[in-house]
Amino acid sequence: MGALAALFARDLRLSVKAGGGALMGVLFFLAVVTLMPFSIGPDLPLLARIGPAVLWIGALLATLLGLDRMFQVDQEDGTIDVLLTGGHALELVVLVKAAAHWVATSLPLVVAAPFMGLLLNMDATAIGAVTLTLLVGTPALTLIGTIGAALTVSLRRGGVLIAILVLPLAVPTLVFGVGAVLGAVTDPAPFLSPMLILAALTLVAGVVGPIAAAAALRQSEG
């Protein structure tokens, strides 16, 4: 477990330093949400209605920004060979790297979401619901993203290809995340069903993502 903890700390440090992608993702998220009121104009009810979707789309796009660096750093310095031949299962290694990436890139978005919700004229119920859904759903986005990152690990500029691969797979998470928030705002009853489905998607991604990413890494280095 000590080696996995060291790997988590290393990836977290690489993500937050300059060029790691974490800061860029947060700034992109803030820019997207901040510009939306200027594009909509003074229609505050409309802004409140589309606020949950804006926050979720911003979080999805911000998550995609740093995915290309998840395994590329290991590829460049040769660490990928150590990970492939190490004593821990590669699937577990991928899960640890995904956890570090989520803490560095997505957790700040969850923390910033309530403040951005105020900017979008969302009420307290909507802000609480969108924060909760982002907390539950963004791990699924990161875990799905590990598949695209592993498939493009040998490409120098794989960011666009990752987006093409990951976006279709991330649509269900986006749909049920926004649906849960809208359910909480309109009627508390419909909130539970999409929220449970969102949690189930995260659990499924937690199993399928590391397995598929590990298989892609073995294939690329085989």
Q: Quick one: what percent of the chain has pLDDT higher than 70? A: 93
DSSP string, the chain: -HHHHHHHHHHHHHHHSTTSSHHHHHHHHHHHHHHHHHHH-S-HHHHHHHHHHHHHHHHHHHHHHTTTHHHHHHHHHTHHHHHHHSSS-HHHHHHHHHHHHIIIIIHHHHHHHHHHHHHTT--HHHHHHHHHHHHHHHHHHHHHHHHHHHHTTT-TT-HHHHHHHHHHHHHHHHHHHHHHHHHHHH-SHHHHHHHHHHHHHHHHHHHHHHHHHHHHHHHHH-
The reported pLDDT for the residue numbered 110 is 93
Give the domain range for residue 110.
2-221
Structural domain tally of the chain? 1
The reported pLDDT for the residue numbered 158 is 64
80-115 residue pLDDT tens: 777 777 777 888 989 999 998 899 889 999 999 999
The reported pLDDT for the residue numbered 152 is 83
The reported pLDDT for the residue numbered 75 is 74
181-209 residue pLDDT tens: 988 888 766 888 899 999 999 999 999 99
21-79 residue pLDDT tens: 667 888 888 888 888 888 887 778 888 888 899 999 999 998 888 787 788 777 777 77
The reported pLDDT for the residue numbered 172 is 94
pLDDT at 18 over 60: no
The mean of the pLDDT values for the chain is 85
The reported pLDDT for the residue numbered 156 is 67
Alpha carbons 1 and 59: distance in angstroms, whole number: 31
